[in-house]
């Protein structure tokens, strides 16, 4: 935090006071014209005790060795920070997370609507769907009395084994950033503060509290940080949550370059930085840009209480910082409308909210294979086998702090036990939306039989005696743990081999939190990726199977063909004692995360970023490319098939004056009727044509000729063109 900024802030605070004092005015005679001025008026009136009251909070759960007593006005949930009622500042009642109001291990039984996983929303490539999802979960949080929803996870999928990828939005900074920003807008429109997290480079769960992410400034700016930057500039989140891990040797929550220089100076972020729970290691973190200590009972001590008050008493730097910390928190509460529209416990229309979740899943399901147009299922299928995945009960969901349970609780909970810091969360929960029941409801007169898939021989026998087999497989993931590999667990590959071997008309439905290997792919008739399907996932899956919905999902994350294709085939830190620190050198791939890496290494993946089939077909034509300060591409897109459908036409950078580079520059998601042609125009965010010039501390586009292409995926580039760009600093 540079001194000039602090002095300015302090001066503004005092000036607000002076105006009050100078004019002899009684309590506030004129409403301050800006959010900052209004915040300054409140900050100036805080007593020394109130100043520190706002900058530290507890986990509002009876957890942990030092769990403090819950204040009467606290709501069971992730966090509680006392407010200043006499000045109209409500307590901060905080709940997780990005897929709905979290379950907190059953300590609350009021239930909430579960969105499908973040990867499902990301597969829609639709900012409106992201917005509507955010608005729905934000509204449920508000109606439960929460004014902070710890949603907005946007860490990039650098590793397809990361246990929290299901909470996030994939491997591309533009796609993830824009969708995250839209979700944040939706949440905050309900007067609930969202918190974009986990800042930054928290790209694996193994050793998350001690691992050190090593990454160069340019590489970070052009990848992980760009996702945060786009999310922040489009979503205007009231808060940012700094991560557990270290970045270039320094804990993210006391990382001056990340917090003060990049976030607050370069990006001019006006809101507040809260820590992750148990991620504060020093009082001096306040000077490094941290504004609030969360879940303080998990830290070695409460740094931002008496120690901070004493420091502010004796040290002008801490005094100025504390005023700025309070200002940032209060200005966000004002800007999001928390002060003027305090959360109020009111009834929730769960039926309406479930439709929001179902739409996200409808549009987020990705059709990966459809040999001989096996799908959509036709009335001719008179005997249908439904196998595995507990499809008779419901659909799987991801574990950890983001876990949501619907009203009435989960359909089934399978405790799997285990060790580690999050061991108490190692229970698999199924949402009560049974694919089997949904299939039966849509199958007309067909016979539908279920087999649980425990014995591949029995499942194969049922498949053999059926016209088609619909086989559900699952891969459960949770916070705090990565998957050791990309395979389906619990011997499911053998089950798939047996069933597809018995009936070539087998549809494999994946309910996974990450990409998976498919050794049986050639035998399968069709494959759908349904991710974690959410509160109405069974209905959404059945809608696609029977053609009620024409699938339009496109992969936001690459499905590698093998672990050997990854920058780090062996998961860093796997098997190390939890207390042993280790580095992860992300400079191996640098900014080339995901598809950019596979393009650079010329690797053929199993399914590429951006891939997805439809029940119809689309064809781009007549590409025109214009250069100048950025690239603008115009082209025709035609539905050449026989049914309406939605396509996601993608614009990629392919070549630059300094060599080949693949980057997503933009996309257009468009619904077309059979035979319909529309002209589409996509203009690139110039930062994606630029590189970060570390020496000059700015984005820089090198002048010259650039190659671009329209693609149906990162690996299927259909039309190409070039554009001459003028050198510039976007």
Interacting residue ranges for ligand GLC, rule: CB under 6 A: 78, 96-97, 150, 197, 276-277, 401
Kindly state the smallest distance separating residue 178's Cβ from ligand GLC, in Å.
21
CA-derived radius of gyration, the chain? 26
**Structure tokens of 544?**
């696609």
Q: How far is CA 496 from the centre of its chain?
A: 30
Question: Which CB, 247 or 542, lies closer to ligand GLC?
Answer: 247
Cβ closer to ligand GLC: 77 or 432?
77
Q: How many CB atoms lie within 10 A of CB 373?
A: 10
To ligand GLC, the closest distance from the beta carbon of 520 in angstroms equals 35
Q: What is the C-alpha to C-alpha distance for residues 683 and 633, in angstroms, rounded to an integer? A: 6
Q: Provide the minimum distance between the beta carbon of 147 and ligand GLC in the complex, in angstroms, as a whole number.
A: 15
- Distance (Å, whole) CA 661 – CA 680: 24
Query: Which C-beta is closer to ligand GLC: that of 239 or that of 370?
Result: 239
State in angstroms the smallest separation of the CB of 277 from ligand GLC. Answer: 4
| Rounded Cα distance, 496 and 459, in Å | 9
Closer residue to ligand GLC (CB): 195 or 654:
195
Maximum Cα–Cα distance across the chain: 89
C-beta of 10 vs 97, nearer to ligand GLC: 97
Instruction: Report the nearest approach of ligand GLC to the CB of residue 228 (Å).
Output: 15
Q: Which is nearer to ligand GLC, 13 or 401 (CB)?
A: 401
Q: What angle do CA 162, 426, 165 make, to 5 degrees?
A: 20
**Which of 389, 373, 377, 386 has the alpha carbon at shortest distance from 510?**
389
Closest CA to 720 of 631, 640, 639, 657: 631
**Cis omega (within 30 of 0) for bond into 393:** no
Residues with Cβ within 8 Å of residue 118, at least 6 apart in sequence: 98, 99, 153, 165, 166, 167, 168, 169
For the bound state, the minimum distance from the C-beta of residue 208 to ligand GLC, rounded and expressed in Å, comes to 8
- CB half-sphere exposure, 662, CA atoms < 13 A: 24
Alpha carbon of 486 to those of 103, 198, 514: distances in Å?
28, 24, 8
Structure tokens belonging to residue 709:
């292409």
The CB-of-232 to ligand GLC minimum distance in angstroms stands at 17
Quickly list H helices, 79-143: 118-124, 127-143
Nearest residue (CB) to ligand GLC, 176 versus 709:
176
Q: Which is nearer to ligand GLC, 429 or 712 (CB)?
A: 429
Pick the closer one to ligand GLC by CB: 206 or 654: 206
Q: How far is the CB of 107 from ligand GLC (least distance, A)?
A: 12
Minimum separation from the CB atom of position 281 to ligand GLC (A): 15
What's the min distance (Å) between Cβ of 150 and ligand GLC? 4
Nearer to ligand GLC, 62 or 569 (CB): 62
Closest distance of CB 162 from ligand GLC, Å = 13
If we measure between CA atoms, which residue out of 237, 253, 101, 239 comes closest to residue 180? 237
Tell whether omega for the bond before 124 is within 30 degrees of 0, i.e. cis.
no
Give the nearer residue to ligand GLC in terms of CB position, either 97 or 119: 97
For ligand GLC, the closer CB: 422 or 524: 422
Distance CA 512, CA 534 (A): 12
Q: Which residues make Cβ contacts (< 8 Å) with residue 489, sequence separation at least 6? A: 475, 476, 483
Min. distance of Cβ 710 from ligand GLC in angstroms?
37
Instruction: Please tell me the distance from the alpha carbon of residue 358 to that of residue 541, in angstroms, as a whole number.
Output: 9
- CA atoms of 528 and 531, how far apart (whole Å): 9
User: What's the CA gap between 510 and 577, in Å, rounded?
Assistant: 33
Q: Are strands 148-149 and 92-95 parallel, antiparallel or unpaired?
A: parallel
Q: Report the alpha-carbon distance of residue 398 to residue 167 in Å, rounded.
A: 8
How far apart are CB 424 and ligand GLC at their closest, in Å? 12
Whether the CB-CB separation of 386 and 436 falls below 8 Å is answered with yes
Nearer to ligand GLC, 61 or 526 (CB): 61
């Amino acid at each position: 935090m540079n001194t000039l900024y602090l002095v300015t802030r302090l001066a503004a605070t005092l000036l607000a006071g002076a105006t009050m004092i100078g004019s002899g005015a009684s309590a506030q005679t004129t409403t301050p014209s800006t959010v900052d001025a209004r915040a300054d008026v409140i900050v100036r009136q805080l007593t020394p005790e109130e100043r520190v009251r706002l900058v530290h909070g507890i986990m509002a759960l009876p957890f942990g060795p030092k769990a403090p007593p819950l204040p009467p006005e606290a709501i069971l949930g992730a966090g509680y920070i006392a407010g200043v009622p006499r000045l109209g500042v409500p307590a901060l009642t905080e709940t997780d997370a990005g897929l709905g109001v979290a379950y907190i291990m059953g300590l609350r039984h009021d239930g909430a609507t579960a969105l499908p996983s973040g990867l499902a929303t990301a597969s829609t490539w639709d900012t409106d769907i992201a917005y509507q999802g955010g608005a729905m979960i934000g509204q449920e949080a508000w109606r439960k009395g929460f004014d902070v929803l710890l949603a907005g996870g946007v860490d990039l999928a650098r590793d397809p084994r990361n246990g929290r990828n299901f909470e996030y939005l994939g491997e591309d900074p533009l796609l993830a950033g824009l969708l995250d920003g839209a979700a944040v807008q939706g949440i905050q429109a309900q007067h609930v503060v969202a918190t974009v997290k986990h800042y930054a480079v928290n790209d694996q769960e193994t050793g998350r509290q001690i691992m050190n992410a090593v990454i160069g400034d340019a590489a970070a700016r052009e990848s992980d940080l760009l996702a945060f930057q786009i999310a922040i500039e489009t979503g205007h989140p009231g808060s940012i949550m700094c991560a557990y891990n270290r970045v270039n040797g320094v804990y993210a929550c006391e990382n001056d370059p990340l917090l003060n220089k990049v976030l607050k100076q370069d990006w001019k972020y006006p809101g507040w930085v809260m820590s992750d729970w148990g991620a504060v290691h020093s009082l001096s973190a306040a000077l490094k840009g941290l504004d609030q200590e969360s879940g303080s009972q998990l830290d070695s001590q409460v740094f931002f209480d008496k120690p901070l008050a004493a420091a502010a008493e004796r040290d002008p730097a801490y005094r100025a910082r504390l005023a700025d910390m309070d200002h940032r928190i209060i200005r966000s509460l004002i800007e999001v409308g928390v002060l003027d529209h305090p959360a109020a416990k009111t009834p929730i229309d769960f039926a309406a909210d479930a439709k929001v979740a179902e739409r996200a899943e409808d549009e987020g399901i990705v059709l990966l294979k459809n040999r001989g147009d096996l799908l959509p299922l036709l009335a001719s299928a008179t005997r249908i086998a439904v196998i595995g995945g507990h499809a008779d009960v419901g659909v799987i969901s991801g574990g950890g702090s983001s876990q949501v349970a619907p009203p009435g609780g989960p359909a089934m909970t399978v405790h799997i036990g285990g060790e580690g810091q999050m061991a108490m969360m190692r229970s698999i929960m199924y949402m009560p939306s049974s694919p089997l029941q949904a299939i039966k409801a849509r199958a007309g007169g067909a016979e539908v039989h279920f087999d649980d898939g425990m014995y591949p021989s029995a499942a194969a026998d049922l498949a053999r005696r059926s016209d088609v087999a619909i086989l559900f497989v699952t891969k459960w993931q949770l916070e705090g743990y990565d998957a050791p590999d990309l395979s389906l667990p619990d011997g499911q590959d053998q089950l798939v081999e047996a069933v597809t071997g018995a009936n070539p008309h087998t549809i494999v439905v994946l309910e996974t939190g990450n990409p998976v290997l498919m050794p049986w792919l050639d035998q399968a008739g069709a494959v759908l990726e349904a991710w974690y399907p959410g509160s109405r996932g069974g209905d959404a899956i059945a809608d696609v199977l029977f053609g009620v919905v024409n699938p339009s999902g496109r992969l936001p994350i690459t499905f590698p063909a093998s672990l050997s294709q990854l920058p780090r085939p062996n998961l860093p830190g796997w098997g190390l004692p939890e207390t042993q620190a280790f580095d992860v050198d992300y400079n191996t791939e640098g900014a080339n995360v995901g598809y950019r890496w596979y393009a650079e290494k010329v690797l053929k993946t199993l399914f590429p970023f951006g891939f997805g089939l439809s029940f119809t077909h689309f064809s781009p034509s007549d590409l025109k490319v214009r250069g100048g300060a950025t690239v603008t591409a115009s082209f025709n897109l035609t539905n050449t098939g026989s049914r309406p459908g939605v396509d996601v036409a993608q614009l990629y950078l392919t070549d630059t004056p300094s060599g080949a580079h693949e980057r997503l520059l933009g996309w257009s998601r468009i619904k077309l009727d059979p035979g319909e042609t529309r002209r589409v125009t996509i203009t690139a965010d110039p930062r994606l044509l630029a590189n970060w010039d570390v020496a000059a501390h700015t984005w820089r586009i090198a002048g010259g000729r650039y190659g671009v292409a329209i693609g149906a995926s990162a690996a299927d580039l259909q039309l190409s063109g070039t554009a001459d760009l003028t050198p510039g600093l976007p």
